Structure 1
Amino acid sequence: MKILKRLPFELIVWIMALVLLGMTDVHDHGSEPHFTLCPLANMGFTWCPGCGVGRSIAHLLQGNFGASLEQHWFGIPALLIIGSRIVGLIKKNFITLKELGLKYKEERYV
């Protein structure tokens, strides 16, 4: 439980975002009404440069590579960028936690 408290909030957010995207039931943008956070779509615009990236990542996580590319071409690079950020945060915090653990053991025996 102490390790969970020391994990950075950003790491938890990225992992939760990917888990939730992987569990999402993906709908096409114009197929049926759905909730969106996109300000341009909420103002009534039919095209947005970022719309579809989340759906593209969701398709990727569900193994639908063709559908992912149809939604947005940036889904694959976005998933790679987010994945590399998660790995970097894990490595950084593993090293920090390891150093803290060693310092704690050294202080305890002195």
Structure 2
Amino acid sequence: MKIVKRLPFELIFWITALLLLATADIHDHGTGPHFTLCPLANMGFTWCPGCGIGRSIAHLLQGNFEESFKQHWFGLPALLILCSRIVTLIRLNLKNKKVLNLKYKEERYV
């Protein structure tokens, strides 16, 4: 548990989000009731510029590339951006840990 407490919240959030999308049971919009965080859909609008990105990423993570592109064209770029952000956060976290460990070692030997 100590490792999880040391990780940045954003890193945990994005990894969890991608894991949930990878294991999601995907329903097409309009084929039945489904939960959505989209404020426009929750207000009753039938069209939203971001509608389908989550399903698109879920299809990508499950290997359905054609269906992913049908859901939303920005699914692949969004997934690449999220993966890039995760890698950046991991690198920053590792770099900070090394710097902290060096400072600690220097203080111990002085």
Q: After TM superposition, is the score higher than 0.5? A: yes
Distance of 2:2 and 2:38 partners within structure 1: 37
1:50 to 2:50 alignment: yes
Residue 61 of structure 1: aligned partner: 61
C-alpha deviations, 1:38-68, integer Å up to 9, x for none?
A: 1222222221111100000011111110110
| Pair 85,73 (structure 1): closer, same or farther in 2 beyond 3 Å | same
Map 1:1-110 → 2, pairs under 5 A: 1-110=1-110
Distance of 2:77 and 2:60 partners within structure 1: 11
| Pair 3,11 (structure 1): closer, same or farther in 2 beyond 3 Å | same
Distance of 1:6 and 1:102 partners within structure 2: 17
Unaligned runs of at least 5 residues, structure 2 = none
Runs of 4 or more, structure 1, over 3 Å off, are none
Distance of 1:42 and 1:24 partners within structure 2: 20
Deviation at 1:4, TM superposition (A): 2.8
Deviation at 1:11, TM superposition (A): 0.7
Relative to structure 2, which stretch is displaced further, 29-38 or 1-10? Answer: 1-10
Normalising by structure 2, what TM-score? 0.92
Distance of 1:68 and 1:41 partners within structure 2: 20
Percent pairwise identity: 75
Deviation at 1:83, TM superposition (A): 0.6
Deviation at 1:5, TM superposition (A): 2.2
Distance of 1:98 and 1:3 partners within structure 2: 15
Unaligned runs of at least 5 residues, structure 1 = none
Secondary structure class of the residue paired with 2:16: helix
Normalising by structure 1, what TM-score? 0.92
Secondary structure class of the residue paired with 2:44: coil
